């Protein structure tokens, strides 16, 4: 069973006049689903900071006011990934680097959970390092995650030798040993997707193209890697379920600089747009009665861009909208408790900002609010 005892969560205190004093600075955007919708209908936003992470939470469903920032201590985190399961639990995966009493640096992967919106986290739990050799362990990439439909957490990372490693929960809630899924020359950012039927697939760009691993059945072993001679721009791959048991992967094409969508066994479909700098944020939603795809990314000029198109109709391209808002890292996308699309970003000064879908046809975003 997962341990539900909670670690400390602190709020940046007000000063004597009642105004909020400056808190720890945001150090960039997290990886993954760092804007999440809780079971109670409220959104939460998470961002890394020196010594841990910061959390903001809506005070009411779909409202304009947010509580926070709340500091969740986590010393030594060099990367932070956020992933949410169907049960609404939010999982936090960190690559932690510490210096021991002997002065040597050591790296491990840590995991914490938030079970309810706005409440405390569990303690950080170490998942170890797949490499017994300390020097090799320092080469471990940042962890990314996917949560299967049964709630089991799967943690992927690039190993010291350039292949893919995995640690995952067993059905009884205990963690299995690290698994070596092979591969070579991988980028640091695997793109896993948890499908509604319980399987997980993962795509990673590499020096020689693209590798894909997939489960043939829920909870089963991963087959692969299967290689494809394709040319994603390094570190731009993202994943989304676009139909029953159908994983679609998105990346920037290294030759054209445009976004593409791709399903294993087919050819990449051009989507237009400008080159992305990091993995795309992805969202599937209903707009004007149609099943739609929304992508968002940071362009080469440092501004947020989003695109909208029909799910399964990517051949007609996406409608792209370049925003004037600068951002650090990838934006995040979610639906709020009223069903509206929300985009979040971290501005160059380390301030989280959000904008919501405005009434009307199509998708247009309203004014940006600073948290």
320, pLDDT greater than 60: yes
Q: How far apart are CA 358 and CA 342, in angstroms?
A: 10
Within 8 A by CB and 6+ apart from 313, the residues are none
Decide if 145 contacts 192 (C-beta within 8 A).
yes
Quote the radius of gyration of the chain (alpha carbons, Å): 20
**How many whole angstroms from its chain centre is CA 274?**
21
Q: How far apart are CA 335 and CA 285, in angstroms?
A: 8
Q: Give the residue extent of every domain in the chain.
A: 1-128, 243-371
Whether the full predicted model's pTM is greater than 0.85, yes or no, is yes
Burial 234-269 (b: 16+ CB within 10 A, else e): bbbbbbbbbeeebbbbbbbbeeeebbbbbebeeebb
Give the count of alpha carbons within 13 A of 8, CB side only: 9
Residue 23 is predicted with a pLDDT of: 60
pLDDT in tens, 111-158: 999 999 999 999 999 999 999 999 999 999 999 999 999 999 999 999
Decide if 346 contacts 360 (C-beta within 8 A).
no
Pairs from 297-304 (Cβ < 8 Å, separation ≥ 24): 297/236, 297/259, 297/273, 297/330, 297/331, 298/327, 298/328, 298/329, 298/330, 298/331, 299/274, 299/275, 300/274, 300/275, 302/326, 302/327, 302/328, 302/348, 303/327, 304/331, 304/343, 304/345
Decide if 212 contacts 201 (C-beta within 8 A).
yes
pLDDT in tens, 264-311: 989 999 999 999 989 999 999 999 999 999 999 999 999 999 999 999
Residue 21 is predicted with a pLDDT of: 42
Q: How much is the average pLDDT of 155-162? A: 98
pLDDT in tens, 237-262: 999 999 999 999 999 999 999 999 99
Q: How far apart are CA 168 and CA 148, in angstroms?
A: 10
Q: How many CB atoms lie within 10 A of CB 284?
A: 16
20, pLDDT greater than 70: no
Q: How far apart are CA 268 and CA 255, in angstroms?
A: 12
Question: Could you tell me the maximum CA-CA distance found in the chain, to the nearest angstrom?
Answer: 63
Per DSSP bridges, beta strands 341-346 and 77-84 are: unpaired
Decide if 43 contacts 352 (C-beta within 8 A).
no
Decide if 196 contacts 172 (C-beta within 8 A).
no
**How far apart, in Å, are the Cα atoms of 176 and each of 127, 153, 155, 169, 273?**
10, 11, 11, 6, 41
Give the count of alpha carbons within 13 A of 12, CB side only: 17
The encoded tokens of residue 219 equal 């909870």
Q: How far apart are CA 216 and CA 177, in angstroms?
A: 20
Burial grade of 78 (CB within 10 A; 0-12, 13-18, 19 or more): exposed
Q: How much is the average pLDDT of 211-234? A: 96
The encoded tokens of residue 296 equal 């968002």
Q: How far apart are CA 88 and CA 40, in angstroms?
A: 9
């Amino acid at each position: 069973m997962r341990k539900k005892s909670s670690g400390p969560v602190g709020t940046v205190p007000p000063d004597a006049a009642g105004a909020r004093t400056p808190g720890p600075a945001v150090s960039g955007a997290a990886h993954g689903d760092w804007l999440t919708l809780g079971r109670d209908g409220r959104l939460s936003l998470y961002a890394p900071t020196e010594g841990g992470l910061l959390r903001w939470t809506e005070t009411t469903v779909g409202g304009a006011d947010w509580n926070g920032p709340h500091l969740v201590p986590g010393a030594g985190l060099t990367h932070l990934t956020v992933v949410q399961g169907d049960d609404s639990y939010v999982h936090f995966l960190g690559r932690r680097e510490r210096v021991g009493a002997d002065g040597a640096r050591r790296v491990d992967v840590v995991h914490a959970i938030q079970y309810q919106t706005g409440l405390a986290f569990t303690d950080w739990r170490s998942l170890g390092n797949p490499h017994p050799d300390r020097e090799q362990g320092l080469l471990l990439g940042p962890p990314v995650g996917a949560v299967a439909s049964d709630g089991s957490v799967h943690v992927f990372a690039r190993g010291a030798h350039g292949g893919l490693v995995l640690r995952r929960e067993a059905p009884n809630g205990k963690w299995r040993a690290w698994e070596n899924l092979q591969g070579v020359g991988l980028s640091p950012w695997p793109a896993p997707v948890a499908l509604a039927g319980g399987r997980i697939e993962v795509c990673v760009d590499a020096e020689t193209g693209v590798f894909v691993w997939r489960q043939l059945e829920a909870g089963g072993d991963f087959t692969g890697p299967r290689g494809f001679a394709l040319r994603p721009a390094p570190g731009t791959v993202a994943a989304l379920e676009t139909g029953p048991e159908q994983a679609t992967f998105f990346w920037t094409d290294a030759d054209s600089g445009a976004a593409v969508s791709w399903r294993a066994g087919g050819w990449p479909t051009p989507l237009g747009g400008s080159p992305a700098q990091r993995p795309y944020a992805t969202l599937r939603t209903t707009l004007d009665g149609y099943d739609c795809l929304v992508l968002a990314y940071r362009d080469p000029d440092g501004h947020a861009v989003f695109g909208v198109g029909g799910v399964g109709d990517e051949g007609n391209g996406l409608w792209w909208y370049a925003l004037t808002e600068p951002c650090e890292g990838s934006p995040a996308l979610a639906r709020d408790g009223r069903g509206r699309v929300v985009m979040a970003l971290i501005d160059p000064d380390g301030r989280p900002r959000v904008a919501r879908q405005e009434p009307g046809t199509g998708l247009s975003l309203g004014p940006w609010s600073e948290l």
